[in-house]
Amino acid sequence: MKFFLDTAVIDEIEEAASWGVLSGVTTNPTLYLRAGGTLAGFHDHLKRICDIVDGPVSGETVGLERAEIVREGEELAAIAPNLVVKVPTMPEGLAATKTLKEKGIDVNMTLCFTVSQALLAARSGARYVSPFIGRFDDISEHGIGHLGDVIKALSNYDFGHPVEVITASVRHPYHVVAAAELGADIATVPFSVLEKLVRHPLTDRGLESFLSDWEKVKNA
């Protein structure tokens, strides 16, 4: 499984990249706002992220009509070679994805919840399909169950181009573990979840005991 960070915070991206585990980044307008973003600084901020990350960086379009989405997508794709255009799953989004794909621009189709949406996204030319997990849990549905359905359905077909599943709307470490067991290609996670994935109380306890014994060795 590849790990992406779902953030627009530069410090978090630099830290995860320094661990050698960062394969990509996904952003959206909410995350950019949370990172203190301004409209004027949007493209420069994405460029900074693209320079740090050795892998795809998703920048989201906000247009609702196909020509607008394509125009925004072209502008975003011009920022850096590793910029992937994030497009919402909707009819106008499918049409824009088809056009962007024809122009050689990779699309990450987001806000994807169902098998039918994922199949259509892949068929329209999306390079990445992002099923959301946590938002299903929020409405008392089984997000991981839906993810499993999407992975299984997509694996039945050859879309004529590579399609990778990005597990999105990840809120807990167990979402990542379950997604890996289902064979999801990628999980995009907040930095807080990435930190929880690496830590374990038994590791902390083991380290504490090794360090205390090493003190005894030094003093013997």
Q: Which residues are tagged catalytic?
A: 86
Residue closer to ligand G3P by CB (options 67, 180) is 180
**Closest residue to ligand G3P: CB criterion:** 169
Q: Binding to ligand G3P (CB under 6 A): which residues in 52-71?
A: none
Long-range Cβ contacts of 31-36 (<8 Å, 24+ apart): 31/6, 31/7, 32/8, 34/8, 34/9, 35/7, 35/8, 35/9, 35/10
Could you write out the DSSP letters of every residue in 81-134? TTEEEEEESSHHHHHHHHHHHHTT--EEEEEE-SHHHHHHHHHHT-SEEEEB-H
Q: Could you tell me the smallest distance in angstroms from the CB atom of residue 67 to ligand G3P?
A: 25
Q: Which is nearer to ligand G3P, 34 or 200 (CB)?
A: 34
> Alpha-carbon distance 188 to 21, whole Å?
12
What tokens appear for 139 in the block? 């409405």
Can you tell me whether residue 10 is helix, strand or coil?
helix
Among 135, 137, 191, 196, binds ligand G3P (CB under 6 A): 135
- Report how far residue 15's alpha carbon sits from residue 11's, in angstroms, rounded to the nearest whole number: 6
- Interface with ligand G3P (CB under 6 A), residue from 37, 55, 63, 134: 134
187 counts as binding ligand G3P under rule CB under 6 A: no
Of the candidate residues 13, 49, 151, 168, the single one contacting ligand G3P (CB under 6 A): 168
> 73-132: which residues touch ligand G3P (CB under 6 A)?
132
Count of residues touching ligand G3P (by CB under 6 A): 10
Rule CB under 6 A: choose which of 82, 107, 169, 187 binds ligand G3P: 169
- 97 vs 169 by CB, closer to ligand G3P: 169
Beta partners for residue 112, in sequence order: 131
User: Within 10 Å of residue 74's Cβ, how many Cβ atoms?
Assistant: 14
CA nearest to 59, candidates 67, 192, 37: 37
For ligand G3P, which is the closer residue by CB, 60 or 72?
Answer: 60
Within 5-44, the residues that bind ligand G3P by CB under 6 A are 6, 26, 28
For the bound state, the minimum distance from the C-beta of residue 77 to ligand G3P, rounded and expressed in Å, comes to 19
Residues interacting with ligand G3P, by CB under 6 A?
Answer: 6, 26, 28, 132, 134-135, 168-169, 171, 188
